[in-house]
Chain A
Amino acid sequence: MAPTRDEAKHLLRELPYEAWLKVGYMFPPKGISRRKAGSLRELMWTLQPSAKSLPTVRLEVVARWLREKVGDAELAMRIEAIHTGEGSYAEKCYLAYQAIKARHDELAALAQGGDDA
């Protein structure tokens, strides 16, 4: 069942700092940059493929964060399935990006839509 507008807004909210997810990028040969993501949207573009860097995330931690901090069990399940599925780390990051983007776009459309039914 699709989230309501309020639920969509809730899932897209920026979390309190203590709940931010540790993420990072690897920039050879500069090294690893450690950053944090505070929302679903921020996680989405952190995972966005780039020719300049490789995202550094642990997908099982991402899934747990989505479930426990963001509150999106449905997306967490999708990420867990990607994590335990076939493919390289980079392929899984890309699949996770696609899944998170699809979910983000869905939620954004709902959040921007009309009043709740």
Chain B
Amino acid sequence: MKDAIEYPNAHIKGGYAGKILHLKLSTLSHETIPTERYAQWGGGNGLGTAIFWDYCEDKTITDGRCEENVVVLATSPLCGTNAPAAGGRCEVVGVGYGQIPIGWFTRSNFGGRYSSMMKYAGWDAVVISGKAPHPVWVEVTNDTVVFHDARGLWGKGTKETQLSILARLDKDGNGWGWQPLPGKKDVGVEYSTQRPAVCCIGPAGENQSMFGCLVHDLGNGAGQGGFGAVWGYKNLKAISFFGSGGIKVADPMALVEARFQVKERYAADVEKPDIYQWGMLGRVFTSTFVGLPSDNRRMQACMGCVMGCRSRYDIGYGNEVSCQETSWYGHYAAKYAGGDPKTMAEVTMQIAEYCNDLGINSYPFEHGLDWLERLWHEGWLGKGKKVHTDLDFGQIGSLAFGKALLEAVAYRKDIGEDLAEGFIRAAVKWGREEDTKNGNLLFPYWGMPEHGYDPRAEVEWGFGSIMTDRDINSHEFNPLFWKPTIDIAYGRNPRIEAEEVVKLVAEKLEPYVDGPKCLDYSDENIYSDAVMNLTRWFIHYSRFWKNSALFCDLRWADLFDTNAPGNVGATADPTVGEQVFWNAVTGEGISFLDGLARGHRIFLLQNAIWALQGCHRDMVKFANYIYEKKMEEAEFFPFYFWPCRDEHGNWSYQDVLHRHLDRDKFEEWKSRFYAAEGMDPTTGWPTRKALEAVGLGHVADELHRHGKLQEEA
């Protein structure tokens, strides 16, 4: 370990388990790190980034599949508590695999009960370094850490892997009734009715496909970043946590009171849900994007969530699948089924489940499959064609084709050998580089697929992605698009008029912004300082409150909410805001803005890592089509409403289709962004002044040693 950051003033009052587990795979040994050293980073993303800085001895690596890479799975003080929609997330950081042009130090995140169980076992994070000499899985039961040979699990899907581990850990074979487990400290044996929480990889990770993700239980996956491939390289099949402990809450009554306040003001009426509600925290929402093949289901939620967004069914498949994995194949399945919605749903749910079992991040298929189909129709791809495949694209939409495609990617077979390196690299190899530039492949930033919100319209999403390391996948502002757009589509007046909603949101963003101008998405304003400062708030919020404190992206930020008086959202609220829950659990007494400042500090440290990896502002650019082609939704999508302000200062929801970004204006916007964030506009690297201002002088020293510091005059 080099350059350890010392934090003599760090203190812990509540929320933390107190220690961090370092798994040294190369020697199949472990050590304990005191959490106190890292507590000032909060948890999750910040804590993990700080640990990476200290424990990764070569931060110039650009492919996470190496012994030097350090991966951290980190909880937050809120994990395992009943802070609303903040108890169940787990953050993953480290150098990833599959991004373009470099495998950045990056992040991912998953839900469920893994982070809770990690803390119940007494650990705030697990640090993974080195490479095991053979496949292993790690059993953590309270303080006991055991490395097991995983050669018998290698090749198994994530479901069978977890079931095998659970069976192994069922010490008395009672099928998870009362279960004995080694107690903590001087306690001999303790008992629990809980089950261990396992995070593992499937074949996609084992075979080091960039699609490889980490999977926990049935439907929780850390997809972006290719961390499954990183685990696969490191011969790490799974880590299980099983604990009988609890979490000390600094002010339990404050936590309970705030939780009741949230229920009082924001909770949906499940008997009479307001289906036209605007807001994140109080919405009724299921994250399965296909008509369900069964009406017999029950909600399934992450630990501490206020609303289960997933389901379990009586049909034997599709349990807990959610979000994009339930939409990417649906259209093709419907086509193959002749439009029969039941068959379409059955195939879609089974394919979604198979993605999780193989440990595949399905997002690249969102646009990638459409592109493959194009190549097949053009005669570029097919049996005996320029790009040979035995996959029968004539059967696209069938269950068999979907499975064959997923297996190709997971096992690096057929075209999967190339696709496992990512669609962009495959396109270049196949002589289709132009498709990466002209929008035939909708991968606008870092070789990652467009999320479904085009950067040319939803600029804060695009700016937030390109100024970081990946598709930001953070929904703070994007209800400002789909809420009014849906209301207008259905002929309703927008539930909150544009003039009101921009005021509500802008108040939440103070003092980063000065009034609602930051929410003017008109062509004339998107390169303004106001939007630049909104983007800064966006990144700082997501870095700390979302990815470090681990408030769920599908509930927070709550910037406006029609369930509450005055349509005021819960974010930053003095009685129910994020900081209220943080302080109740930790006893720290920080403000909401303090959290944003921590987000900025985390972002600076990450920029230092990216600089060491080789990042330069000249690399921070969208795919060409974002600058050169107007949005093609204009051909099929009728409108794309965002708040806009006219020349008289009047607000309305306006269609912002028919535009592309201006390369020169964005480059100039970047310069202002870098300067505002404490980075050198000529390079994009953090300045010594900015780093020292947040206690990271030793980081500046490291940058200097690598020639990555523009010394101020």
- Assess the B453–A32 pair: CB atoms within 8 A: yes
- Assess the B339–A42 pair: CB atoms within 8 A: yes
| Residue A87, interface by CB 8 Å | yes
Residues of B within 8 A of A61 (CB): 635-636
Interface membership of chain A positions 40-55, coded 1 if the CB is closer than 8 angstroms to chain B and 0 otherwise: 0110111010111110
Of A52, A58, A91, chain B has the most CB atoms within 10 Å of the CB of: A52
- Assess the A35–B491 pair: CB atoms within 8 A: no
- Assess the B289–A30 pair: CB atoms within 8 A: yes
- Assess the A33–B331 pair: CB atoms within 8 A: yes
Task: Decide: A90 near B636, CB < 8 A? Known: A29-B475, A30-B323, A33-B366.
Answer: no
Q: Please tell me which one of the listed residues B341, B377, B453 contacts residue A48 in the complex, with CB atoms under 8 A apart.
A: B341
Residues of A within 8 A of B454 (CB): 32
| Residue A77, interface by CB 8 Å | no
| Residue A73, interface by CB 8 Å | no
Tell me the count of chain B residues lying within 8 A, CB to CB, of chain A: 46
Residues of B within 8 A of A89 (CB): 488-491, 638-639
Q: Please tell me which one of the listed residues A24, A30, A36 contacts residue B637 in the complex, with CB atoms under 8 A apart.
A: A24
B274 vs chain A, min Cβ distance (A): 15
Query: Across the A-B interface, how many residue pairs have beta carbons closer than 8 Å?
Result: 115
Give A59's nearest chain B residue, CB to CB: B638
Distance between Cα atoms of A29 and B370 in the complex (Å)? 21
Give A46's nearest chain B residue, CB to CB: B331
Give B492's nearest chain A residue, CB to CB: A88
Give B451's nearest chain A residue, CB to CB: A31
- Assess the A58–B452 pair: CB atoms within 8 A: no
Q: Please tell me which one of the listed residues B331, B338, B452, B488 contacts residue A31 in the complex, with CB atoms under 8 A apart.
A: B452
Residues of A within 8 A of B488 (CB): 88-89
- Assess the A50–B489 pair: CB atoms within 8 A: no
B481 vs chain A, min Cβ distance (A): 9
B271 vs chain A, min Cβ distance (A): 19
| Residue B100, interface by CB 8 Å | no
Give A21's nearest chain B residue, CB to CB: B636
| Residue A102, interface by CB 8 Å | no
Interface membership of chain A positions 3-30, coded 1 if the CB is closer than 8 angstroms to chain B and 0 otherwise: 0000000000000111001111111111
- Assess the A33–B328 pair: CB atoms within 8 A: yes
Give A88's nearest chain B residue, CB to CB: B491
Residues of A within 8 A of B288 (CB): 52
- Assess the A42–B335 pair: CB atoms within 8 A: yes
- Assess the B290–A57 pair: CB atoms within 8 A: no
- Assess the A58–B491 pair: CB atoms within 8 A: no
Residues of A within 8 A of B334 (CB): 45-46
Give A33's nearest chain B residue, CB to CB: B327
Interface membership of chain B positions 324-367, coded 1 if the CB is closer than 8 angstroms to chain A and 0 otherwise: 10011001001100110100000000000000000000000011
- Assess the A88–B490 pair: CB atoms within 8 A: yes
Of B341, B490, B638, chain A has the most CB atoms within 10 Å of the CB of: B638
- Assess the A90–B491 pair: CB atoms within 8 A: yes
A90 vs chain B, min Cβ distance (A): 5
Give A50's nearest chain B residue, CB to CB: B291
Q: Please tell me which one of the listed residues A25, A29, A38, A52 contacts residue B482 in the complex, with CB atoms under 8 A apart.
A: A29
- Assess the B324–A51 pair: CB atoms within 8 A: no
Interface membership of chain B positions 629-640, coded 1 if the CB is closer than 8 angstroms to chain A and 0 otherwise: 000111111110
Task: Decide: A36 near B633, CB < 8 A? Known: A88-B491, A89-B488.
Answer: no
- Assess the B324–A30 pair: CB atoms within 8 A: yes
Of B323, B331, B374, B479, chain A has the most CB atoms within 10 Å of the CB of: B331
Task: Decide: A52 near B636, CB < 8 A? Known: A35-B370, A45-B334.
Answer: no
| Residue B294, interface by CB 8 Å | no
Give A42's nearest chain B residue, CB to CB: B335
B659 vs chain A, min Cβ distance (A): 16
- Assess the A36–B370 pair: CB atoms within 8 A: yes
| Residue B145, interface by CB 8 Å | no
B712 vs chain A, min Cβ distance (A): 42
Give B639's nearest chain A residue, CB to CB: A89
Interface membership of chain B positions 355-395, coded 1 if the CB is closer than 8 angstroms to chain A and 0 otherwise: 00000000000110010011001100000000000000000
| Residue B478, interface by CB 8 Å | yes
Task: Decide: A58 near B638, CB < 8 A? Known: A29-B475, A48-B341.
Answer: yes
- Assess the B637–A29 pair: CB atoms within 8 A: no
| Residue B486, interface by CB 8 Å | yes
Interface residues of B in 455-508 (CB under 8 A from A): 475, 478-479, 482, 485-486, 488-492
Residues of A within 8 A of B485 (CB): 26
- Assess the A44–B378 pair: CB atoms within 8 A: no
Distance between Cα atoms of A87 and B338 in the complex (Å)? 29
- Assess the A32–B637 pair: CB atoms within 8 A: yes
Distance between Cα atoms of A34 and B670 in the complex (Å)? 30
Of A30, A51, A54, A88, chain B has the most CB atoms within 10 Å of the CB of: A30
Residues of chain A touching chain B, judged by Cβ–Cβ distance below 8 Å, are 16-18, 21-36, 38, 41-42, 44-46, 48, 50-54, 56-59, 61, 87-91
Question: 17 A-B residue contacts at CB 8 Å?
Answer: A16-B377, A26-B485, A28-B482, A31-B452, A32-B454, A32-B633, A33-B328, A33-B366, A35-B370, A36-B370, A38-B335, A42-B339, A45-B339, A57-B638, A58-B636, A58-B637, A90-B490
Residues of chain B touching chain A, judged by Cβ–Cβ distance below 8 Å, are 288-291, 323-324, 327-328, 331, 334-335, 338-339, 341, 366-367, 370, 373-374, 377-378, 442, 451-454, 475, 478-479, 482, 485-486, 488-492, 554, 632-639
**Given A33-B366, A52-B290, 15 extra CB contacts under 8 A:** A21-B636, A22-B635, A24-B636, A27-B327, A29-B475, A29-B478, A32-B453, A32-B637, A33-B328, A42-B335, A46-B331, A52-B291, A88-B492, A89-B490, A89-B639
